[in-house]
Chains A and B, each alone.
Chain A
């Protein structure tokens, strides 16, 4: 038996320096440079300058800049609006994650397991189409729905004889936050839906064939195959939901402005008010820095979990 000996690999070429490599690919770099510069100027530069301004009493155009040490951060501890905001944001984060993990998964399951590819295609498209609707239009629609006098919610309750349940949904501190949370019902969110559907489509068919041979019913198939294989997607959506919840701002601004009283305020909204209504830009930067730290921590966790998920898929 002839033994073929692998020929030695060609000698590695001398390692090019980074700059030489960039120069070699100069045309490509030239084309991507505007994007890099734009991101650096508009994303990274404000972020890093924000670190500095968080320790100042910055009021651009109004007074000279003074270094105030940790004053802005100690003021945050005394800020009742901010305290309420952090409690509210926890509610929003938990409910956001729940909404992203439940209904979109259910709908993705139903669409994925349809027998007709044509129907599957059309349903998938129909669920994605609402994505083109501007968010602001959706929000204004919900403001109308919750209106106590002419809104669909109270009108419906009246029509079915549940007048006693009628409320000023956004005007009552006991219901305002929950009204915002319930917005978008039945919560078939497009991004989670697509992520779950993509995840289901990537599950090897062999597993389903084996499940059929073993006589698994749909519930067992979901619990024993789909759910374990979607753990990566679930982790991703949890982290995205947390980040999305912490960054909640315009939804609250449009729906209630943080009211009634301070019942629906969130830290990002307090940051906005501090800067643009109260001209306390330094304080706003301090809030931003704290939010950045929280979101950054979550992002690191996100990256860690995502790596685990990829590894899981690779094995």
Chain B
């Protein structure tokens, strides 16, 4: 055994322990400290794709985006271009699967993360706690890669502030739009001609498929299927038609911290205009909405919501048997394999369809498809407005707050990414990648799509974004959302009756009000006051 002196032993022990702890606990640091030197505005003559004069950047950018949308290859391509400009910058594109992503992302942000770019984890408490970069002030700056004010490079509606805090925490480069797709072959085979415009039409279409022995529409009914997309979309979108006028209750009032006289003072309620209450046209106040739920001005147990559920239960007669135990992927497979007539999805399905049909290993038979919008409820006197849809900006990227230099580097990368040339590269590479899905039409000015894609996306738009009023349907916090899923599944499968469902859901919402108020820092007695979230 080699001889080790007491001093050597002590030194090695300390080094061993320290090394172990450091190696195990320290977050991987940037390869080199992020730095932005020579911060002077770049030369006006600097064109896109060249290093702005006098600017030298170094550090590490880690993009832990979710891989649902298949943007990894596109991001890699843009990252390579950025590294060409700044050889001392390292960019790691490390997409994560959507399963468990929200939980993972929340834990990352709470525990401290070295991730630069993440997907919004639907965590308003963390937004309220100031855990993410506010893009607001940065959008007012000049983008050195275009020499234009950054915000002007986005199409209207792309930049949306979080209404509870006023911060712009999401970075959205695409639009998303929910609509119905139908199998043209099956459509013609069962003798259908016109696409449905109203609820009555839709039910007739579904009934026609059913009578012909074809599954009318597949749906995911598992926990995730009720929490987001699929049935969640359908219920939220339809609820909007019943609760549109709630915008008058939840909008900012004169004297509120977020009330803007030039915007809110001039706004008039018009249910005929699908974009009447779009972002930027009127300011919503989540504090007022929460206060309204507390006071009973807004209730989920109301005639409109009961009527909505009658429609939902009518619709559920046409989905596949056992849908409660089916996830979204399996439900979609029923449509892709030509077993189902219609399928509700979002604009990313256009590229997903091409991807799946192009993959010979899946053994799918290509078919032509058509689309139609979500339909208006035409058989209820309780409807307040035409049905809208999810018609919004998307991407949902956020930057967790870190030190200023690191965040500056990350912001610079996003400026680069959102320049028309690089945004175009992102789109082009994504579409060429066998794993790539494009969320929807890009919302960056100057990015041109090919004619094929222009034609495919031409059906998108015009319906307006639902849910600008009170949700009145979905949970107002994570616990309430879970209880909603629990109750909705029970009611949908007749395990509980209508009265029990509405009574329990109403109680659940009332229980969640103080939780939301506390987490967001709302003063419900003075909902016009700026929230002061606990830190």
Q: Which residues of A line the B interface, CB within 8 A? A: 23, 26-27, 30, 33-34, 37-38, 41-42, 59-64, 143-144, 146-150, 167-173, 176, 253, 256-262, 272-273, 276-279
Contacts and interface: CB of A to CB of B under 8 A. Distances in A.
Contacts of B495: 173, 261
Given A38-B24, A41-B25, A61-B129, A148 B493 contact: no
Interface stretch (B13-21, B205-213, B430-438): B13-21
A64 B106 CA distance: 18
A149 B224 contact: no
B334 interface: yes
A279 B104 CA distance: 12
Interface residues of B, number: 56
B13 A168 contact: no
A172 B324 contact: yes
Contacts of B320: 148-149
Nearest to B18: A37
A251 B528 CA distance: 46
Contacts, number: 142
Interface string B473-506: 0000011001001100110010100000000000
A173 B110 CA distance: 34
Contacts of B535: 63-64
B13 A260 contact: no
Interface in B315-343: 320-327, 330, 333-334
Contacts of A169: 325
A41 B102 contact: no
A149 B20 contact: no
B386 to A, nearest CB: 33
Contact of A37 (B4, B17, B223): B17
Given A41-B25, A148-B325, A168-B325, A64 B102 contact: no
The 3 closest A-B pairs by CB, nearest first: A171-B325, A168-B322, A148-B322
B2 A33 contact: no
Interface string B72-112: 00000000000000000000000000001011101101110
B479 A62 contact: no
A62 B534 contact: yes
B283 to A, nearest CB: 25
Interface of B: 1-2, 4, 6, 9, 12-13, 16-17, 19-21, 24-25, 100, 102-104, 106-107, 109-111, 123, 125-126, 129, 131, 218, 221-224, 320-327, 330, 333-334, 478-479, 482, 485-486, 489-490, 493, 495, 519, 534-535
Contacts of A27: 1-2, 4
Contacts of A167: 322
Given A33-B17, A168-B322, 10 more contacts: A27-B2, A41-B20, A41-B21, A62-B129, A168-B326, A259-B222, A260-B223, A279-B106, A279-B110, A279-B478
Contact of B221 (A38, A171, A258, A272): A171
A149 B17 contact: no
Given A38-B24, A276-B106, A61 B126 contact: yes
A168 B493 CA distance: 12
Nearest to A280: B479
A278 B330 contact: no
A277 B325 contact: no
Contacts of A63: 129, 519, 534-535
A171 B330 CA distance: 13
Given A61-B110, A172-B325, A150 B20 contact: no
A32 to B, nearest CB: 10
B334 A23 contact: no
Contact of B489 (A61, A253, A261, A278): A261
Contact of A259 (B16, B321, B489): B489
Contacts of A258: 223
Nearest to B322: A168
B343 to A, nearest CB: 14
A257 B489 contact: no
Contacts of B330: 144, 147, 149-150
B24 A149 contact: no
A149 B478 contact: no
A80 to B, nearest CB: 9
Nearest to A171: B325
